[in-house]
Amino acid sequence: MDYLKEYEKWCTDEVFDEETKNELLNIKGNEKEIEDRFYKELEFGTAGLRGVIGAGTNRMNKYTVGKATQGLANYIKKQGVQDKGVVISYDSRHMSPEFSEQTALILNGNGIKTYLFEKLSPVPELSFAVRELGATAGVMITASHNPPKYNGYKVYWDDGSQIVSPVDKDIIAEVRAIESYNDIKSIDKETAKAKGLFNMVGKEMDDKYINTIKSHVLNPEVVREQGKDLKVVYTPLHGTGTRLIKRVFEELGFKNLYIVPEQAEPDGDFPTVDYPNPEDKAAFKMALDLAEKVDADLVLANDPDADRLGIFAKDTKSGEYKEYTGNMSALLIAEYRISQMKEKGILPSNGMIIKTIVSSNLTDEIAKYYNLELLEVLTGFKFIGEQMKIAEQTGDRKYVFGFEESYGCLIGDYARDKDGIAAVLALCEAAAYYRTKGITLWDQMMNIYEKYGYFKETQVSIVMEGAEGAEQIKQMMSDLRNKETVKQIGKYKVLTFKDIEQDIQKNMITGEVTSTGLPKSNVLYYALENNNWCCVRPSGTEPKIKLYMGIKAGSMEEAEKELNELKEAMVKVVKG
């Protein structure tokens, strides 16, 4: 793309409004800024369309959102499923209400019925609603846990999962085929309503969603009994979680919910945090301060679209609040739910657990112990949703649990994306249950490690912004892929090397080369000695290259020491 030519077009073409033109004229002469805004078009990654809000082809604005929506509309009409409709929801980010209504009216302008949530609502409820309403697709306006300047556009298909191949590629092709923003069709809201195309989703969907996740509680009597004493501090990080969390806690009998007051209301500026990510300990500062004051047992945080859950739990022996990684919290929930399902005789004989390729190998041990099939998929919850759909269609497997290391899990098959609301509920139920055994969640986490081994994981992100950064990331992956295959990382021999983009799996001992069995993706994976591993991939939603690694050891201290050594060794390999 000739970015200067495209910039001039946006500054002069009558299709663009004066506000957009003025914003761009204010950066005239700033070639680096112009290049960043126009060197490419936003593309669908692991979570759809995501970018900085502003004018330009590489920005989230009404033109790029409009083009994406028109492409989606064209695809839906070609499939002949426009009568089933599209569900649309949004979170607390800047421009989310505007983008969501614009999306609805463009779809309406193409004769496609829409169901727009009347209040900001989380990702899992949208996924649930797509299935509940029998819609052909869903759109969620959110940038998840990104900094305030971002927004995004996630597309879901009729199973409630984010789009996967070939649907994603076909929609992208339709978007790219749109040559002019003049090709975007839209109608006004009153006309859309009169035609029965513009519809609202309200409390009735809240009722159905909440009743569904409540039905997944395994020990309701324990929740009622222990819920009177369990103290929980919660923060939605200025996002969508408060309304639903308050309601589900009240209805189940959790009596001591303390919501961080400064973070309870939706606010796209996210004024109390650098960025609203429950993976970041800094985002918990206010919640941990409140926890100290009220002597809370648990400290929980959802991200703005409430698909992720971060937790701290009190260790009564030390009095400290212990931080859980996404692997730890998900597998604590998994062990609780699976063990209880087995005890109650409701664990399916053909049950499966699904994890992503960069998630903990502790999952493998839990699956083996409970005789469940383990499926491993690429990073992105949409690939978990894809396997759930296949299992639903064939009937040969029954979904039990799925998660990814980035703080997201799903406890049932009622939706097809991460559910941070249900995860809060499941975590609190587990805490209530273990109270009856005289132990805390931290005690139980240590019990899990004693049972299966001390698994510990971490990741490193190397941020490289702009066109130059994108090229550097591309070069780093190319260098790593093309240099002589890495045979050792730190003190560990590489046993198996996977280049998933080239569909190569090489046994480094025998030299045998086989297929990875995974869809092509720009991912390099190294299976090491002693059940250890490393993985490298570019982020699909942010300007960074991500390094993942995991260790199994005989104690927590040993695991932490060896993980740090492995991290340093892997960074050296990647940086050359």
- Radius of gyration for the chain, computed over Cα atoms and rounded to the nearest angstrom: 24
- CA distances from residue 325 to 292, 359, 374, 494 in whole angstroms, order as listed: 21, 11, 21, 26
| CA–CA separation, 304 and 90 (whole Å) | 10
Task: State the Cα–Cα distance between residues 306 and 88, nearest whole angstrom.
Answer: 16
| Ordered alpha helix ranges (H), 216-321 | 220-226, 242-252, 285-294
* CA atoms of 573 and 462, how far apart (whole Å): 13
Total count of residues recorded for the chain: 576
What does the alpha-carbon distance between residue 381 and residue 331 come to, in Å, rounded to a whole number? 16
Q: How many CB atoms lie within 10 A of CB 459?
A: 17
CA dihedral 186, 190, 195, 198 (to 10 degrees): 70
Catalytic residue at 349? no
CA-CA distance, 85 to 197, in Å (whole number)? Answer: 9
Q: Please state, in angstroms and rounded to a whole number, the distance separating the CA atoms of residues 58 and 60.
A: 7
Other Cβ atoms less than 10 A from the Cβ of 40: the count is: 15
Residue with tokens 């990654």: 45
Q: Beta 524-528 vs 513-514: how paired, if at all?
A: unpaired
CA 346/CA 135 separation, integer angstroms: 31
Maximum C-alpha span of the chain: 70
Exactly one of 144, 161, 329, 359 is catalytic; which is it? 144
Tell me which residue of 173, 541, 165, 537 sits closest to 386, measured CA to CA: 165
| Residues in a beta bridge with 552 | 455
The secondary element (H helix, E strand) that includes residue 69 is helix 62-79
Query: Taking a C-beta distance cutoff of 8 angstroms, is the pair 109, 186 a contact?
Result: yes
What is the bridge-based pairing of β-strands 320-324 and 309-315?
antiparallel
Closest CA to 525 of 474, 560, 477: 477
What is the CB-side half-sphere exposure of residue 338 using CA atoms within 13 A? Answer: 26
- 191 φ/ψ angles, rounded to the nearest 5 degrees: -65, -45
- Which positions are catalytic? 144
